[in-house]
Amino acid sequence: MRLTELLDFDSIRIGLAAGNKRQLLQQLGQIAGARLGIDPAVIVDSILEREKLGSTGFGNGVAIPHGKVEGLTAIYAMLVRLAEPVDYKAIDGTKVDLAFLLLSPPDAGAAHLKALAAVSRTVRNAATLEQMRG
């Protein structure tokens, strides 16, 4: 599975203003909800439920908030680059300036994990991260 197969290129946002983690997740829910025709609150609740298990702050300034959402028929991914980094409680303590939102149907067990792996592989590449920030 390749990230380009999942990414909603029309939802990419550059310079998104979010003062903190909660505001970022709210904005991700708003953008994705509008694109998918799903109540943004449902999306945000799914992401926050996952965050209760531990921060999705991946490290190196990247977060991968994700969740499973009723009503989805396919995996959905979007990318935002923040205007200013926010404290996301990432595992390495680094503030986050790039966020990949990943949403899956509730029954997408293995496919959801493969999508997370695709995002993870992408953001581990320093050259790719530099391009995303440039």
Q: Which one is catalytic: 7, 65, 66, 100?
A: 66
CB-based contact 6:115 (threshold 8 Å): yes
Known catalytic residue: 66?
A: yes
Please report the DSSP string for 16-75 in residue order: E--SSHHHHHHHHHHHHHHHHTS-HHHHHHHHHHHHTTS--EEETTEE--EEE-TT-SS-
Closest by CA to 24, choosing from 106, 76, 90, 115, is 90
Residues with a catalytic annotation lie at 66
